[in-house]
Amino acid sequence: MRLFERAPAKINLTLHVLRRRNDGFHDLESLVAFTCFGDVLTLDTDAAAGLKVDGPRAGAIGPHEDNLVLRAARNLQAQAPECRAGAFHLFKSLPAAAGIGGGSSDAAAALRLLARAGNINADDPRILSAAAATGSDVPVCLERRARMMRGRGEVLGPVLSLPPLYAVQVNPGIALETRAVFGEIGLQPGEEADFGSHPEMATGLSFDALVSLLRRARNDMEDAASLLAPVIGHVISVLAAARGCKLARMSGSGATCFGLFETRTAAAKAARVIRRDHPDWWTRACVLR
């Protein structure tokens, strides 16, 4: 039996850092949304267990035994032995270490595949438990819908209905380690951040109302990431200068940035211009949900 799942990119429309916990992790508040494209993961339950990776971004993947896909599989099978192991095939299209949750989304796709193969309900608590054990961003990637996430990422708010968000994503080809960006922020264990509260998010907002709320929020990792990779500031400036761009910001811990546009045509035109002027950047127009 061969099954497949899409693993879309996760975009942090906002990302507030609240505090550094005594265990070393950071408590966050973030509004996340997902693209309509990404990696593709296949599971062949009749083949020997393992992982094969190919695709245009396969070279950025580290040792396969450390891949989040296999880690997620091990975590779920430890709790649900009825899950059928098999051969995973990952077609990697998304940049790695890019602030768009590529590895986490791949891991969530692996959990969905194993659940389907083992006839486990998607809302089985063992799925969420395995996701949380695999990585901070994996739980929110399970359902692939816009919502607030808090804590390390394991506290999920209700799914939010957003207006169509036409976006352009740009990655300048710089890989950033999340730990290094948090290190640049420099919070000590137990220390609270005083960057300001997150605006209350509601479902069913108009495009203008949502953008207005997003402008009152921010990505608290953006300045720190820009110190490590100054090109991020240039990418944001390029996006902000594009005709029709309503908001430009970095996603996650970087270095991928995004611009929001009111129409699909404006986003597509902006992406074409950026690709023409910066052919070495990874640039994609997309719709967020």
Q: Which residues are catalytic?
A: 10, 137
Q: What are the DSSP calls for 108-173, one per residue?
A: HHHHHHHHHHTT--TT-HHHHHHHHHH-TTHHHHTT---EEEEETTTEE-----PPPEEEEEEE-S
Which is nearest to 27 in space by CA: 172, 149, 181? 149
| Residue 202 DSSP SS3 | coil
At a CB cut-off of 8 Å and minimum separation 6, what does 226 contact? 232, 233, 250, 254
Are 141 and 108 spatial neighbours (Cβ–Cβ below 8 Å)?
yes
Length of the chain: 289
Report CA 136 to chain centroid distance, whole Å.
Answer: 11
| Alpha carbon separation from 256 to 54, 63, 65, 131, 196 (Å, rounded) | 22, 23, 26, 24, 24
CA distance 131 to 126: 8
